[in-house]
Structure 1
């Protein structure tokens, strides 16, 4: 009876997850159609645009930092309105030296480029908080040390903010994997990025005007960040934590789909696992810290935001683990039964009930592949045979890593809570 209850829970949960995915795809299709009818024009005069402080936190980033800052210096935005602060945070390499050499170039003599060599605690959040004290712009723009924003990225972010200046507290763009074809892992990460940004982000924004700032390629109103008190230095995923703070103040986080930046994704499984475990653990904590919004007078957007994260990291994860265990164990016992009919699976169900799990699992796989290819079709140059095959294969390989990562992150979070262990800023390894 208990086992049948678990099976029913898994089946219902998978169907709800499928329904959520269909809703997201519906919103994404609506968004894509509307965007195609409304192309963005870039004005020649940007005198009325606000001032912006671009902040780049960098911890031992000598490999990529100069290229990143060059891209930022080349942004299509009035130079006199841009302040750039690069924080060399607790660096033991030549990050600061490379920045100083870049700044000394004649072409950049008149640019407002500040290099902050910082020794302190708080990781990325601490670095951003120190830079916030020196920021003079009306808006804060954040780029990670490996970012390569396209020339008009900042313009599109600010343009979106100016559409509803009283409502939009932050605006975020899209991030693309610049090393997406390096190997199987980076190709799968690319599929994940494209799907999240072109289906989930667009669907949530189109249907509910709900957004979440990423760790890079976004702007936030300076006064709002100071009102919040800066970035939470105890948060592992400071971007998600700030998103909830912005929403609780009645501000929206808008999507600017044409504001794109390239970033370097992990090329080794060990690097990827450490990065994603940190993200998962941070999101677990943010969800737990914000569960109270479900039971108070917070706005429906905040409640929906909490439910969305809670479903992804708790509910659906548990359902997938249960369904995978039942499915795999039954297959194993069926194979064993071919040679030894006396062996019986510990999971015994009526054929009708079990077939519902198989149908739900098959539908989930179909929706998974469909979402990816919808996203690829909306991104020029990405809808091809190779990516289609990869989308079919990745469910059985790359997507299953989510379960392993989530379980490890949850265990690590529990150990942190019990032992009082402090989290450190884990820097994703860069490649030449």
Structure 2
């Protein structure tokens, strides 16, 4: 039985390695194509669509003024951009700061609408209420801590105009603006860069597959109205809406030059709460959509379900099991040095255990390789410090994923068993 479990874990790890290599190959092709293309900023923007930018804000007095100013200062025709900021159940000075900004000489003539809200539904509820006042052909979402670069919205809509019939949504890149704050924020930065410069580009190049990231994206207003708005019961509303878009035969396109900075957690407790919510939401999305593997849904939906299912269930379980086997064996071998009579409960035949070590070594190599491939494509990020960090983060930061996923899965099961209400957690800001 121990041999069978170990062999299954080894096969799973090899499949994960193959998946990573495939996605990296797609990312390399995408990046080479992008480097050959010249980024152009159109002079005449009159043909560009109208856009409603919506910003949900719950107790965001530390960051909301800077965020809205960044949005209002973007390079986009003023008469084509409506901005709606939702002061959602705020008990601080968020609404007051927004009103002061609205009344200022610089922005008094802009289409800036402040919606003070006391409803339920968290971020999804705030977005649904804001959508009732939206007038743009496209809806753009930015979180309350976002700092979009000047041409971010322009690049998003420019991508949408390439195929407005097929593209239901377009998403850009999000970068950590506090990446150098401490060890945690530096590791989060490596994760962000890798996901967006390798995973997002690779999946788009190979399969035209994309997922809404929650901020710095646009979506057709008519499509959102057809869907019925954001799911107020979903913990990760962005992933849930991505499946709804694909179900309607629309693609979620990648616009890699549309960049926005965001604030990442600087404390482990804040990080854990944020990521546990994400993992729990993604577990639920997988369960809600697993039936697509067995019906006539498009192959992209099936592939997306498989991608999430393997990442959050299969590969996770395989790594946990192999970790347990490895640690237990090491422990028993250490004890046997002093007491030869002690024997590990996991006895393996032949060289099976050696294959596990080889698989782990290859997985570690791929992990470091894909991080440094991503860093090499991002100006100023490929340096000695980040290389060293990429080597040690596997044994530190990356292992948090196992803890977070296990806790989130147990929490989700308990929610279902005892009927516990789902809560939306707002990430703490640091100003």
TM-score by length of 1: 0.99
Shift of 1:422: 1.3
What secondary structure is seen at the aligned counterpart in 2 of 1:106? Answer: coil
CA distance in structure 1 between the aligned counterparts of 2:122 and 2:335, rounded to whole angstroms = 52
Q: Match for residue 235 of structure 1?
A: 234
Partner of 1:160: 159
Find the counterpart in structure 2 of residue 305 from structure 1.
304
Q: State how far apart, in whole Å, the 2-side matches of 1:189 and 1:318 are.
A: 23
SS in 1 for 2:261: strand
**In the alignment, structure 1 residue 28 sits paired with structure 2 residue 27:** yes
Q: Residues 297-330 of structure 1: CA distance to partner in whole angstroms, max 9, x if unpaired?
A: 0000000000000000000000000111111111
Structure 2: state its 5+ residue gaps: none
Task: Verify the 8 A CA contact 2:376 2:382 in the aligned structure 1.
Answer: yes
Report the counterpart of residue 211 of structure 1 in structure 2: 210
* Residue in 2 that maps onto 1:389: 388
Which aligned segments of 4 or more residues in structure 1 are displaced greater than 4 angstroms?
A: none
Deviations 1:340-363 (A, max 9, x none): 222111111124111000000110
Between stretches 221-230 and 419-428, larger displacement belongs to 419-428
1:255 aligns with 2:254: yes
The answer as to 2:88 corresponding to 1:89 is yes
2:267 corresponds to 1:268: yes
Q: CA deviation at 1:7?
A: 0.3
Question: Secondary structure, in 3 states, of the residue corresponding to 2:84?
Answer: strand
Match of 1:174 in 2: 173
3-state DSSP of counterpart to 1:163: coil
Which sits farther off after the overlay, 220-229 or 336-345?
336-345
Question: Which stretch of the first structure deviates more once superposed, 252-261 or 35-44?
Answer: 35-44
For the residues of structure 2 that align with 1:57 and 1:108, how far apart are their CA atoms?
A: 19
Shift of 1:9: 0.9
User: Could you tell me which residue of structure 1 aligns to residue 7 of structure 2?
Assistant: 8
Q: Name the counterpart of 1:74.
A: 73
Q: Partners in 1 of 2:174 and 2:153 — Cα distance?
A: 13
TM-score of the pair, normalised by structure 2: 0.99
Equivalent positions of 1:20-419 (< 5 A) are: 20-419=19-418
Q: Secondary structure at the match of 1:421?
A: coil
Distance 1:6 1:179 in 2: 42
Offset at residue 103 of structure 1 (A) = 1.0
CA distance in 2, matches of 1:351, 1:414: 39
Structure 1 residue 403 displacement after superposition: 0.5
CA contact (8 A) 2:3 2:349 kept: no
Q: Indicate the RMSD between aligned Cα atoms, in angstroms.
A: 0.6
Residues 168 and 251 of structure 2 are in contact (CA less than 8 Å); yes or no, is this contact kept in structure 1? yes
SS in 1 for 2:173: strand
Provide the rounded CA distance (Å) in 2 between the counterparts of 1:385 and 1:330. 35
Q: Number of paired residues?
A: 431
Cα deviation, residue 44, structure 1: 1.0
Which secondary structure does the structure 1 equivalent of 2:332 belong to?
Answer: helix
Secondary structure, counterpart of 1:107 in structure 2: coil
Distance 2:316 2:284 in 1: 16
Residues in 2 aligned to 1:147 and 1:340: alpha-carbon distance in whole angstroms: 59
Question: Per-residue displacement from partner, 1:201-256 (whole Å, max 9, x unpaired)?
Answer: 00000000000001100000000000000000000000000000000000000000
SS of the residue corresponding to residue 261 of structure 1 reads strand
Q: Deviations over 1:59-114 (max 9, x none)?
A: 00000000000100110000110000000000001000111111111010110000
Cα shift at 1:258: 0.3
Q: CA deviation at 1:158?
A: 0.3
1:331, CA displacement in angstroms?
A: 1.3
**Does the 8 Å contact 2:121/2:233 carry over to 1?**
yes
